[in-house]
């Protein structure tokens, strides 16, 4: 069966990197935007092919989601034998429960939609590993933790790995194990989508440099609150590493004002433009490895389950 790689419009650079790693050309496709905001999507000849659609669902979230669903539909109607979504960032993953009676669960709605449209999903560092259970189709949950840890290793001396909230503790421990460092965590309270507060720090940080790790940076509120609390507790240099750089306003201004030693994110989402210095760690080789194995029906055991 032929491997057919199709790039959505969400992150063409990542798809090109993946194509280079796999030694294949990207398939032709058309994504048209109509004046009313609707999309028109078409793919080239993929009859009988093993199709991989590269489309993270970061901002603009709904455009990217609908485009992914329509690409999957187009591939099926064109006779694809199997359709896999390479969706390194899965939108709504943070919305995995109801905050109050009457609310929808966005994570479940997205998982249901993707599961119906795709045969399989390849994702990277979902907000919680338990989200896998929301999907009715198989999901290969990869991690960028090793990639980020190895990139940051040369910058580290007397450092402690810090989770900016309780949800990131396991991630921080994983980084700490790989890097042979201690770990600590910040107790965070979120007051609104754009406002959080650090209530305290669990663990020893005084006099150390910090590697602050998270699954994503959205508005930057979490990183700012954690960094300020850590500095007040006697921390010197702060490096931040996160898998998904959503970096929605006012993240760039907030993070620039922090004067971090280094800020690393992967290229799961289209790299931010502007003046904020960001080190991009590419997922292309990791995703290509996963796609290659799936295409050959080879095990992914070494690539998954390291969260
Ligand atoms: C929350 O639990 C996540 O892991 C991130 O810490 C959070 O979503 C980042 O958002 P922001 O940058 O807006 O604080």
Q: In CATH, what number is assigned to the domain containing residue 156?
A: 3.40.50.2020
Same domain flag for 10 and 123: yes
Q: Which atom of ligand 1 is nearest to the CA of 193?
A: 13
3-class secondary-structure state, position 159: strand
CA distance 197 to 266: 26
Task: Tell me the pLDDT tens digit for each residue of 16-67.
Answer: 999 999 999 999 999 999 999 999 999 999 999 999 999 999 999 999 999 9
Domain span including residue 104: 3-144+284-304
Comparing C-alpha atoms, which of 111, 117, 108, 109 is closest to residue 41?
117
Ligand 1 centroid–CA 38 distance in Å is 30
Find out whether the beta carbon of 222 lies less than 6 Å from any atom of ligand 1.
yes
Pocket test for ligand 1, best of 106, 129, 216 (most atoms within 8 A of CB): 216
Task: Tell me the pLDDT tens digit for each residue of 216-245.
Answer: 999 999 999 999 999 999 998 999 999 999
Same domain flag for 201 and 218: yes
With residue 189 as reference, give the H or E element that holds it.
strand 183-192
In this predicted structure, what is the pLDDT of residue 307? 66
Find out whether the beta carbon of 217 lies less than 6 Å from any atom of ligand 1.
yes
Q: How many domains is the chain partitioned into structurally?
A: 2
Same domain flag for 19 and 131: yes
Ligand 1 centroid–CA 123 distance in Å is 18
pTM for the structure as a whole: 0.95
Known catalytic membership, residue 170: no
Same domain flag for 174 and 257: yes
pLDDT mean over 117-137:
96
Same domain flag for 11 and 130: yes
Same domain flag for 199 and 180: yes
pLDDT for 198 beyond 90 = no
């Amino acid at each position: 069966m032929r491997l057919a790689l199709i790039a959505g419009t969400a992150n063409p650079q990542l798809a090109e990197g993946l194509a280079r790693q796999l030694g294949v050309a990207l398939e032709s496709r058309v994504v048209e935007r109509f004046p009313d905001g609707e999309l028109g999507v078409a793919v080239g000849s993929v009859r009988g092919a093993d199709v991989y659609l590269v489309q993270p669902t970061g901002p603009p979230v709904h455009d990217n989601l609908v485009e992914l669903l329509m690409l999957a539909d187009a591939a099926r109607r064109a006779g694809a034998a199997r359709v896999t979504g390479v969706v390194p960032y899965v939108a709504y993953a943070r919305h995995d429960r109801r905050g109050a009676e009457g609310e929808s669960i966005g994570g479940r709605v997205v998982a249901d939609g993707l599961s119906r449209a795709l045969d399989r999903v390849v994702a990277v560092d979902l907000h919680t590993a338990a989200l896998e259970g929301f999907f009715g189709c198989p999901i290969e949950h990869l991690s960028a933790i090793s990639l980020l840890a190895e990139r940051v290793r040369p910058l580290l001396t007397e450092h402690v790995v810090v989770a900016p909230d309780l949800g990131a503790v396991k991630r921080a421990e994983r980084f700490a194990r790989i890097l042979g460092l201690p770990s600590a965590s910040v107790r965070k309270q979120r007051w609104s989508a754009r406002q959080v507060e650090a209530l305290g720090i669990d663990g020893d940080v005084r006099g150390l440099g910090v590697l602050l790790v998270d699954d994503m940076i959205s508005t930057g509120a979490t990183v700012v609150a954690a960094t300020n609390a850590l500095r007040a507790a006697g921390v010197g240099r702060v490096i931040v590493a996160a898998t998904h750089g959503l970096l929605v306003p006012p993240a760039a201004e907030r993070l620039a004002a922090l004067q971090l030693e280094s800020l690393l994110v992967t290229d799961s989402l289209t790299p931010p433009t502007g003046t904020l210095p960001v080190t991009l760690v590419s997922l292309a080789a990791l995703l290509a490895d996963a796609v290659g194995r799936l295409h050959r029906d080879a095990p992914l055991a070494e690539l998954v389950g390291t969260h």
